Structure 1
Amino acid sequence: MILCLLAGLLAGCQQAPLPTPDTPVSSEAQGAFGQTERAFVELSIGTNEQVLKLLENGGPAEMVAHRREELERLRAVLDVPYVNNHVGHDMPGMPTDAEIQLAATDPQARDQFVRAHLTESLKVLENARVDLKHPPTVEIVELMERHRTAELAAR
């Protein structure tokens, strides 16, 4: 579902007609921070905040450090005040409050939710890599991909 949501957001932001040689190129097409990047960053911040709650009770320290680093970089690139538009959403890869509560007492459930986060995040990142044009945001995507790939391999 998170993949569909982001794909819809990304696709919806990319529906402008292709420029002709005499059409001025938008700043987003030139690599500026645009609506597509903003949607990705806001979704990633919301997801990482929930994952940190999930990891508070026994999650791998390296994964906690990775999510904090990502949050710092994501917030730094965001060009408007952050508003969590995903509060209460039940999307694959973004742990819900109920899942976080269950994970606090059930290590197997936590492991299951962490794995879901990693696999779904990689799908979202794969799509983001295609659609994002802003170099600092693309660098964050690459960092997140490295983190997710290593974390999944360690499981």
Structure 2
Amino acid sequence: MNAARSTAALSLLLLLAGCSAPAGTGPEAAPAPATTSATGAPADPTDAAWAQLMTPMNEQAVALLTLAGQRTADPRVRRWAAGLRTAQNGELARLRPLLARMGLPDTNVHEGHDMPGMVTEPDLERARAAEGRAFDRVLMTLVREHLSQSAQVSRSEAKSGTRPDARRLATALVSARTAELAALDLLPGPSEAAG
């Protein structure tokens, strides 16, 4: 991938993720990805940005999904949330070693950024304050946003990334998100949850 295409792909990934500018170009911009991998080869910025975004997105989603065991009103939602939490943890088990192979830290470089699809601490506080059907509405809204946005940025990585291992994982995540969104559509909707 040439430098111009790599820069365009990185800009697209950051735009899709809700980061308005590359590192160092604005007060709220994401920190720059590491410039070398564990092998000393230059790290592709698109691959690095994707892995550094997907990891905290999944971590925050897992924190939300964990609350469903005690807060949901519907056993179908509880089962679905438990299955999705297991799947998200499985993805994290693949994302963290990928970060290590790229020589990137396993830290949330997007902390404090208001990004589409990222479950935030205020979101978690709102979920902790809700119970029953109110919790179900919060859960389903936030998870739908997470699944949709993570699918979108993973499509970008699958198309524009350069690392075969990152592209394979991104492709797998896109397929998983399609199935997860279909499963979400089978759960009671907001109008049913309100009743």
- Highest CA radius of gyration, 1 or 2? 2
1:53 paired to 2:87: no
Distance in 2 of aligned mates of 1:57 and 1:97: 13
Distance in 1 of aligned mates of 2:153 and 2:112: 19
Q: Which residue of 2 aligns with 1:113?
A: 142
With normalisation by structure 1, the TM-score equals: 0.77
Residues 42-97 of structure 1 deviation map (CA, whole Å, 9 limit, x = unaligned): 11111111111111111611211111111111111112322311112211100111
SS in 2 for 1:56: helix
With normalisation by structure 2, the TM-score equals: 0.62
- Paired residues of 1:48 and 1:67 also in contact (CA < 8 A): yes
Unaligned runs of 5+ in 1: 10-31
Q: Which has the higher contact order (CA 8 A, sep 6+)?
A: 1
RMSD: 2.4
Q: Which residue of 1 aligns with 2:159?
A: 130
- Paired residues of 1:2 and 1:93 also in contact (CA < 8 A): no
Q: CA deviation at 1:123?
A: 1.4
Distance in 1 of aligned mates of 2:105 and 2:15: 22
Q: In the superposition, relative to structure 1, how do residues 75 and 86 fare at CA in structure 2: closer, same or farther (>3 Å)?
A: same
Fraction of identical pairs, as percent: 32
Q: CA deviation at 1:35?
A: 2.3
Q: Which residue of 2 aligns with 1:83?
A: 107
- Paired residues of 2:119 and 2:146 also in contact (CA < 8 A): yes
Unaligned runs of 5+ in 2: 1-13, 23-41, 69-77, 185-195
